[in-house]
Structure 1
């Protein structure tokens, strides 16, 4: 006697295969959701860490700049908030690739000094970012501080005040004292010492500081006048 055909045409065991396939898909979907959630959590953690780290770095840079400003123009030599008295400033001849900040030091309601940002583009290992304070009374250097560099440790990094006193060799100097031709290292006929095994770094920084002095000689008085006018407009 003939056996009745399976109405669905399915072989025995096909239902079990279908059930297994569905379970596998469910498992894959569940794992995918878990992986997605984990990835989302990781992304959020990394983003939060990045923001926190960026803010910390920015604050450290601000504090470092503030210390440098006060080392150049001590509290006894100004009576205003240096971080408040500044303007956006960008000058290609001073190595700027983007806007920087120019600071004004006041004393007894009179402009006392300008603190310029500068960048020596020809350092041994790249850019050397620095600030230089120039007294308005005689256009002499009040001080120079390096803010950022990648010069060779133990050699070129002697431009940092914490590594050597070399940077203080600028204090009191101005255009004409010495003559512009002598604003270089002694090896090149100038008056500034070089470092043992590292001439490129000090040469680049001396050249850039001289460029700031030249710019100040031409534009400094007008910049100070403009910044003083801005203070009055702002009620300072």
Structure 2
């Protein structure tokens, strides 16, 4: 076999390999996307009461808040009715960015908070990411209607909330981000919850 024939066979095999790889990627793409969406939906469900929900992404206006940045929002529907909004928030903790997932019911009450990522000190501010964190559970059911804006701070700052022991900056950042999310929801409730009616 001469060199030209060998080169042609090699190129044919390489082209066939590339073609089969491309075809496999095209066939796997919907499954990969479905799995990504399932993972994202599981994160959303972590801050909501148990149940079957449908989710719709929201476009957020004025995402920069006083103490945090709202990265994304999702309207959660139950039996086709808007029941909650889940906001992903980023604020500055002690060690770096602190990202929270914050669930808010249609009535403006806090349904759940979960830490998505942080750079806090293990054993101190890092406790904010512990599974079933009782400190974050403290706010469940709270709203701006029953907790005035002036009380949404740590006790040492004149507010009503305790801090995580040894993690004042982390605690302050989390309280501020949660308050920002509740304020944003209250100020934009009609457009956030009304999106389902207009689609």
The TM-score range, normalised by the shorter chain, is 0.7 to 0.9
CA distance in 2, matches of 1:164, 1:144: 9
Residue 189 (str. 1) matches residue 158 (str. 2): yes
Residue 153 (str. 1) matches residue 153 (str. 2): no
1:92 — aligned with what?
64
Residue 128 (str. 1) matches residue 98 (str. 2): yes
Q: TM-score, normalised by structure 2?
A: 0.72
Structure 2 portions without partners, runs of 5+? 1-32
Structure 1 residue 70, shift from structure 2 partner: 1.3
Structure 1 portions without partners, runs of 5+? 1-57, 231-236
Number of aligned positions between the proteins: 165
CA distance in 2, matches of 1:166, 1:65: 24
Bigger RCO (CA 8 Å, 6+ sep): 2
Name the SS of the counterpart of 1:118 in structure 2: strand
Deviation track 1:30-89 (CA, whole Å, cap 9, x = no partner) reads xxxxxxxxxxxxxxxxxxxxxxxxxxxx9998776443321211342xx3333xx21343
CA distance in 2, matches of 1:60, 1:153: 31
CA distance in 2, matches of 1:228, 1:105: 13
Q: For residues 125 and 104 of structure 1, do their structure 2 counterparts lie closer, same or farther at Cα, with a shift above 3 Å needed?
A: same
CA distance in 2, matches of 1:106, 1:142: 14
Deviation track 1:198-219 (CA, whole Å, cap 9, x = no partner) reads 1110111101111111111110
The answer to whether the Cα contact below 8 Å between 1:65 and 1:147 also exists between their aligned partners in 2 is: no
RMSD of the TM alignment (CA)?
Answer: 2.6
2:191 — aligned with what?
222
Q: TM-score, normalised by structure 1?
A: 0.62
2:45 — aligned with what?
70
Q: For residues 206 and 141 of structure 1, do their structure 2 counterparts lie closer, same or farther at Cα, with a shift above 3 Å needed?
A: same
Deviation track 1:179-224 (CA, whole Å, cap 9, x = no partner) reads 1111111221222221222111011110111111111111022122
2:74 — aligned with what?
103
- Specify which of 204, 210, 215 is matched with residue 179 of structure 2: 210
- Specify which of 137, 156, 170 is matched with residue 168 of structure 1: 137
The answer to whether the Cα contact below 8 Å between 2:90 and 2:97 also exists between their aligned partners in 1 is: yes
